[in-house]
Amino acid sequence: MSINNIVIIGSGNLGWNLTIALFKAGFNILQIIDKNIQSANKLASQVNSDYTDNIKNINRNADLYIISVFDAVIENVVNSIKWNNKLVVHTSGSTNISIFKKNTDNYGVIYPLQTFTKFKQINFSNIPVFIEANNKENENQLLKFISKISNIVRLASSQKRFIIHLSAIVANNFTNYLYTLTDELLKKQGISFNILEPLFKETLNKAIEIGPSKSQTGPAIRNDINIIEKHLDFLKDKQEFYNIYTLISENIINRYNSV
């Protein structure tokens, strides 16, 4: 049996983008389920599907159920349905596959490694997607299924996926936070954040090309205390920026200058 009819539970950033990608790839979206009925309705109208805000009304005829809700809520959703051994997956980086164990015999995980925003559709084909399943048969089904929307499909255990998710938080959330601090600093001088774009791009290119450890430059790796102190003096009234500057600089100094 191959997967064609799909029920989506959760129409947040990831659920939204995944649903649109599946619809465009020709899959039949049977139903969108979300407690936020406006969101369910809006997404459903884009993919010609049914929708509901009550999980008890779940459509029983799907080949695959995709749970894309906050981690803390996954278990509630899993426990609230009799799955009758239908194939069900979640999309979380840091939730173990074992969460399904007590409730069904056919389950797995589909974890797309990307940051999603509703209403900003991303081309899924270049997004790495990590698959896990409770047996070979389901694994093969999910691999085949996801290959229809992504060119980069890999298997990953729950432990491996956990570490990939942790890396993604650093890669995305933390760097974005550093962007935010920088943006605020520059704005006060009337300078556009976009002036840094070539620098950000080259930083990434270099890290990919020769590895980030060899790419490190700047006052901390030179242990240039004079410049670091000038910067800290300037940041002394910006507590959070000051603390981050201090901690990361100390770490770079220790890593590269210890004998």
The answer to whether the beta carbons of residues 41 and 12 sit under 8 Å apart is no
CA distance 90 to 54: 18
CA distance 7 to 39: 15
Nearer to its own copies, 82 or 178 (CB): 178
Alpha helices in 84-196 (DSSP H): 136-146, 158-168, 175-187
Number of residues that bind its own copies (CB under 8 A): 88
Which residues 19-58 are close enough to bind its own copies by CB under 8 A? none
Beta bridge partners of 256: none
Nearer to its own copies, 13 or 28 (CB): 13
CA distance 138 to 132: 9
116 binds its own copies (CB under 8 A): yes
Beta bridge partners of 5: 28
Which residues 54-83 are close enough to bind its own copies by CB under 8 A? 70-72
151 binds its own copies (CB under 8 A): no
Q: Name the segment binding its own copies (CB under 8 A); options: 20-28, 97-105, 108-116, 141-149.
A: 108-116
**Shortest reach from residue 68's CB to its own copies, in Å:** 14
193 binds its own copies (CB under 8 A): yes
With a CB cutoff of 8 Å and minimum separation 6, the contacts of 191 are none
φ, ψ (nearest 5 deg) of residue 179: -60, -40
Nearer to its own copies, 87 or 149 (CB): 149
- Binding residue (CB under 8 A) for its own copies from 37, 55, 143, 185: 185
CA distance 33 to 17: 15
Nearer to its own copies, 137 or 250 (CB): 250
Q: Name the segment binding its own copies (CB under 8 A); options: 30-38, 45-53, 57-65, 191-199.
A: 191-199
Bridge-based pairing of strands 28-33 and 5-9 is parallel
Cα–Cα distances (Å) from 55 to 37, 46, 63, 232, in that order, read 12, 20, 17, 53
Nearer to its own copies, 59 or 203 (CB): 203
CA distance 89 to 133: 8
Nearer to its own copies, 83 or 116 (CB): 116
Which H or E element spans position 169? none
CA distance 178 to 200: 11
**Shortest reach from residue 94's CB to its own copies, in Å:** 5
Which residues 199-258 are close enough to bind its own copies by CB under 8 A? 199-204, 206-208, 210-213, 215-222, 224, 226-227, 230-231, 234-235, 240, 243-245, 247-248, 251-252, 254-255
Which residues 165-184 are close enough to bind its own copies by CB under 8 A? 166-184
Q: Name the segment binding its own copies (CB under 8 A); options: 3-11, 25-33, 44-52, 188-196.
A: 188-196
**Shortest reach from residue 146's CB to its own copies, in Å:** 15
